[in-house]
Amino acid sequence: MQKLTVLGATGSIGISTLAVVEANPEQFSIYALTGHSQVKKLVEQAVKFRPEVIVVGSADLAKEARTLVEQHQLNVEIEFGEQALERVASAEGVDTVVAAIVGAAGMRSCLAAARASKRILLANKEALVMSGQLFIDEVKKYNACLLPVDSEHNAIFQSLPLDYQQGYLDKSIEDYGVTSIILTGSGGPFRETALEDLPFKTPKQACAHPNWSMGQKISVDSASMMNKGLEFIEACYLFGVSPDFIEVLIHPQSVIHSMVRYQDGSVLAQMGQPDMKTPIAHTMAWPKRITSTVEPFDFVKCSGFTFQAPCQERYPNLYLAKEAFRQGQEVTTVLNAANEEHVDRFLKGQIAFTDIAKYNARILEKLSPQKACNLTDILEIDKQARSLAHELLN
Residue ranges binding Mg ion (CB under 5 A): 150-152
Using rule CB under 6 A, residue 210 touches ligand NAD: no
| b/e map 180-202, b = 16+ CB within 10 Å | bbbbbbbbbbbbebeeeebeebe
What's the rounded Cα separation, in Å, for the pair 336 and 226?
Answer: 9
Using rule CB under 6 A, residue 214 touches ligand NAD: yes
Using rule CB under 6 A, residue 81 touches ligand NAD: no
> Are residues 217 and 102 in contact, defined by beta-carbon separation less than 8 angstroms?
yes
Between residues 45 and 317, which has the closer beta carbon with respect to Mg ion? 317
CA atoms within 13 A on the CB side of 294: 20
Using rule CB under 6 A, residue 125 touches ligand NAD: yes
CB of 272 to ligand NAD, least distance (A): 13
> Looking at 102, 139, 182, 206, which residue binds ligand NAD (CB under 6 A)?
102
The single-letter DSSP state of residue 329 is: H
- Size of the chain, expressed as the number of residues it contains: 394
> Looking at 5, 11, 18, 182, which residue binds ligand NAD (CB under 6 A)?
11
Farthest-apart Cα atoms in the chain, separation: 63
Residues that bind ligand NAD (rule: CB under 6 A) add up to a total of 27
Using rule CB under 6 A, residue 146 touches ligand NAD: no
CB of 107 to ligand NAD, least distance (A): 10
Using rule CB under 6 A, residue 124 touches ligand NAD: yes
> Looking at 212, 245, 262, 305, which residue binds ligand NAD (CB under 6 A)?
212
Residue 40: how many other CB atoms lie within 10 Å: 12
Using rule CB under 6 A, residue 4 touches ligand NAD: no
| b/e map 297-332, b = 16+ CB within 10 Å | eeeeeeeeeeeeebeeebbbbbbbbbebbeeebbbb
Binds 344, which of Mg ion, ligand NAD, none (CB < 5 to 8 A, cut-off by type)? none
CB of 72 to Mg ion, least distance (A): 35
Using rule CB under 6 A, residue 282 touches ligand NAD: no
Using rule CB under 6 A, residue 382 touches ligand NAD: no
Residue with smallest beta-carbon separation from ligand NAD: 11
What's the rounded Cα separation, in Å, for the pair 241 and 289?
Answer: 28
Residue 271: how many other CB atoms lie within 10 Å: 16
Between residues 209 and 386, which has the closer beta carbon with respect to Mg ion? 209
What's the rounded Cα separation, in Å, for the pair 214 and 208?
Answer: 9
Chain positions contacting ligand NAD, by CB under 6 A: 8-14, 35-36, 38, 57, 100-102, 105, 123-126, 150, 212, 214-218, 276
